[in-house]
A = this chain, B = another copy of it.
Amino acid sequence: MSVDERRPTKVKRLPREVRERQILDAAVRVFSQHGYHNASMDEISEVAGVSKPMIYAYLGHKEDLFAACIRREATLLIDAIAEGVQVESPPDMQLWHGLRAFFRFVGEQKESWRVLHRQATSQGGPFSDELLAMRDRAIALVDALLVRSATSRGMNEAATKSTEALAAALVGASESLADWWLDHPEVSDKVVAGWLMNLVWMGFGDLVDGNVWTPVKPEDGQS
């Protein structure tokens, strides 16, 4: 058996499914390194150990290939988070576990995260649509969490209006913090998640409780 693996016949003849995974793996790697535009199909095919025609036959054009990468990685991320969250838990625990799962994913799947965050956010191309949609979904989920939480604590008007915006802010903060964390691996994911949790959850709690910050002199806020 091991001999077979060491000396593959000149041309490995693998089932489509396997090849597709190989290709996607290579593509994620290359896209994550060079970015969408600077990534060449040649390099991907080389890294995948597969000729270009196979890529086109199985995954389609460059754009399709990229979209497939995004879709796969985004699904992985979402699944990871979903797996972490317990639906029955109170909102804060859900958020907490969601954040932890998120940071764990970022820490373990650096390349996936880079593709998702760096490339797809960039701009243009029909794929960013796909990713922005998933980002919006994440925001909506957080929003729902915030709403539930606020409701249970007695929502006031100020909080009501702001939940969607704050959900967006939280997602952005998570992304940015994830980037920061990649440069500071000495901190554990648990700690990082804790910081963010404090910032956001406590801050939001204050808002809900009517414990709001306002400029000392109201007129200072005038534009």
Across the interface, which residues of B come within 8 angstroms of A93, CB to CB? Answer: 215-216, 220
Instruction: Name the prevailing secondary structure of the A interface residues.
Output: helix
Partner of A202, one of B96, B196, B202: B202
B189 touches A169 (CB 8 A): no
Partner of A177, one of B172, B207, B213: B172
Copies of chain A in the complex = 4
Which B residue's beta carbon lies closest to that of A123?
B35
Q: Which residues of A contact B (CB under 8 A)?
A: 34-38, 90, 92-93, 96-97, 100, 104, 114, 118-119, 121-125, 139, 162, 164-166, 168-177, 179-181, 184, 187, 189-190, 192, 194-207, 211-216, 220-221, 223
**How long is the Cα–Cα vector from A195 to B168 in the complex, in angstroms?**
12
Known: A104-B223, A165-B187, A203-B206. 9 other contacts (CB 8 A): A35-B124, A118-B121, A139-B180, A165-B195, A168-B180, A171-B176, A172-B172, A198-B206, A201-B203
